[in-house]
Structure 1
Amino acid sequence: MKDWREDKTFFRATIALPVIWFFIFFVIPMAIVWAYSVGENVGPVDVAITGTFANYAKAFAPEVLKVMGDSIWLAALTTLICLVVAFPVALAMTFADDKQKTWLLLLIMLPFWTNLLIRTYALIAVMRTSGVINTGLEGLHGLLMTVGLPLGSFEPLPLLYNKFAVVVGLVYVHLPFMVLPLYAALDRLDKSLIEASLDLGAGHLETIRRVIVPLAAPGIAAGLVITFIPALGAYLTPDLLGGPDDLMIASLIERQFKRANDWPFGAALSFILMYITLLFFAVRAFLERKGGKVGAH
């Protein structure tokens, strides 16, 4: 009987459907969008594919560059906050016992069981002027006033419809994307190296800096990319939590397709976002080649 690994017919039959699916639902639609990006509007709903790169040149207009810069800055800040918060969480999960790991993983995965729109509206209910946070602060303010502290009148904190709310929302949504790859990388570490570092006199912070972080570099790189890219292309969270001046690139793309009816420019912006994504995948691949070694100094 022929080995299944040598049976080319079986292999082709197995791979055919996924390849066809990939071409029909990914390659062809992306090719159409790319063709639009080098086209021009010739009517209310018609686009002529002319091979022009004028749509890409329009992306260098000051107002568009500002939106891109804000998007990159907000996505980078979100990613950094997620890394700072997720690393100790993933480290604690690594050294927890099996029963605790199960519950901690469940808590990390729990947000994925709820629709993003519902989670965002729940966050709005917490952060709005009459929401949980401001109501709690108002109650605390009243309590402090009753004991004689001259605090003046209470002013609700402006927690919504600004960049602060956008960052909070992006961190809230994307934190699990950072925790999971970090945990996967840390859980594979050789614990004897950590014990050896501590036995040789290195403190916990020094062990984290010189042993754990270098060994977990591939997981850190994966977490940075997996968090940054969705945050950069986020649409729903900035649209609901941000103000009129907190436009991100996904919202700008949506406006080109729906409001401005400039499909070629919207397609060009979409591919610029994809080019940025490919750049960060290249950075991730570079960091993975460099990572996984304990520093010698």
Structure 2
Amino acid sequence: MKNKTTYLAYPYLVWIVIFIVFPSFLVLLYSVTMKSSDDITTINFSLQNFIKFFDSMYLNILWDSISLAAISTIICLLLGYPAAYIISNANISKRNTLLFLCILPMWMNMLLRTYAWMTILGNNGILNNLFAFLGLPKINMLYTKGATVMGMVYNFLPFMILPIYTALSKMDTGLLEAADDLGANQYIKFRKIIVPLSMPGVISGIIMVFMPAVSTFIIPQLLGGNKNMMIGNLIEKLFILNGDWNFGSAISIIMMIIILISMSIMNKFDIDKEGGARLW
């Protein structure tokens, strides 16, 4: 007789097949086929969509997407790690309040949060009005790569803070007490104990920020304007405006491969069962 847990897993398997496996198969099928210009019902298998992507124009868009996503991820790490460390060392009452303030912006729709930054960074926005009040010249901040990075950092920063905080809060404080007994200073404790034990959270945070950042299209569309197209905007344009599902699917497959490669690189840190990482 099969275990009861096996039967309980069947609904999840059906869910995975319907909403993950089948859509992924359709995307892959569209990416390796091309419609005939003479007969729209005829489908020809071809790798032309992938070959087309290696044009310099599309490669530049891919490079801009990866570079902006990497910059946003690094900034989120530099801001998120100290924030997570402060929250994990705060008192219980203050810790809950700080966590609430951290996740509070996530309760609002991402589109509304991005629109709010348009009013802040616009030529007649809050910051430029403040500069004018202080007698400073206005700065053109909207529709730039900097505005795109700022929007991604704001929207994805909680995804960096929360996993790092989880790793830090589960850390065995007895190791820090033992280090104190052995005469270790704050720098040694941070480098030898805190950082290695927090690496699972750091790796999870990097993945959770980089993956949506490299494929986002709302943020660069609103804050970057038409000057800064990212790969997500290109895919959206191919599907919605041009109706070129085949080429759009090919780019989606390429992005999936890039994300999988990025995740495999992060897995080389070899996280062990105790929650540490072999980095030293």
TM-score (norm 1): 0.87
Q: 2:269 is paired with a residue of what secondary structure?
A: helix
Distance 2:4 2:181 in 1: 54
Distance 1:203 1:168 in 2: 36
Task: Note the 1:23-38 alignment, pairs <5 A.
Answer: 23-38=17-32
Task: Note the 1:36-115 alignment, pairs <5 A.
Answer: 36-43=30-37, 46=40, 48-115=42-109
Q: Which moved more, 1:30-39 or 1:192-201?
A: 192-201
Distance 1:170 1:264 in 2: 28
Q: 1:164 is paired with a residue of what secondary structure?
A: helix
- The residue type paired with residue 231 of structure 1 is A
Instruction: Name 1:121's counterpart in structure 2.
Output: 115
Q: Pick from 2, 14, 26: which aligns with 1:8?
A: 2
Q: Pick from 243, 247, 271: which aligns with 1:261?
A: 243
Q: Which moved more, 1:211-220 or 1:262-271?
A: 211-220
Contact 1:44–1:261 (8 Å) recurs in 2: no
* CA pair 233-44 structure 1, distance change in 2 beyond 3 A: farther
Instruction: Name 1:147's counterpart in structure 2.
Output: none
Instruction: Name 1:292's counterpart in structure 2.
Output: 276
- The residue type paired with residue 42 of structure 1 is S
* CA pair 94-44 structure 1, distance change in 2 beyond 3 A: farther
TM-aligned CA deviation for residue 104 of structure 1: 1.1
Q: 1:244 is paired with a residue of what secondary structure?
A: helix
Give the gaps of 5 or more residues in structure 1: 1-6, 142-153
Give the gaps of 5 or more residues in structure 2: none
TM-score (norm 2): 0.92
- The residue type paired with residue 181 of structure 1 is P
Distance 1:197 1:69 in 2: 44
Q: Pick from 161, 172, 179: which aligns with 1:197?
A: 179
Contact 1:36–1:47 (8 Å) recurs in 2: no
* CA pair 47-102 structure 1, distance change in 2 beyond 3 A: farther
TM-aligned CA deviation for residue 285 of structure 1: 2.5
Instruction: Name 2:15's counterpart in structure 1.
Output: 21
Q: 1:71 is paired with a residue of what secondary structure?
A: helix
Q: Which moved more, 1:74-83 or 1:217-226?
A: 217-226
Contact 2:145–2:228 (8 Å) recurs in 1: yes
Q: Pick from 248, 261, 281: which aligns with 2:263?
A: 281
Instruction: Name 2:158's counterpart in structure 1.
Output: 176
Number of aligned pairs? Answer: 278
- The alignment status of 1:244 with 2:238, answered yes or no, reads no
TM-aligned CA deviation for residue 199 of structure 1: 4.9
- The residue type paired with residue 68 of structure 1 is L
Q: 2:140 is paired with a residue of what secondary structure?
A: coil
When Rg is computed on C-alpha atoms for both structures, the one with the higher figure is 1
Q: Which moved more, 1:160-169 or 1:240-249?
A: 240-249
* CA pair 64-44 structure 1, distance change in 2 beyond 3 A: farther
Q: Which moved more, 1:272-281 or 1:10-19?
A: 10-19
- The residue type paired with residue 283 of structure 1 is I
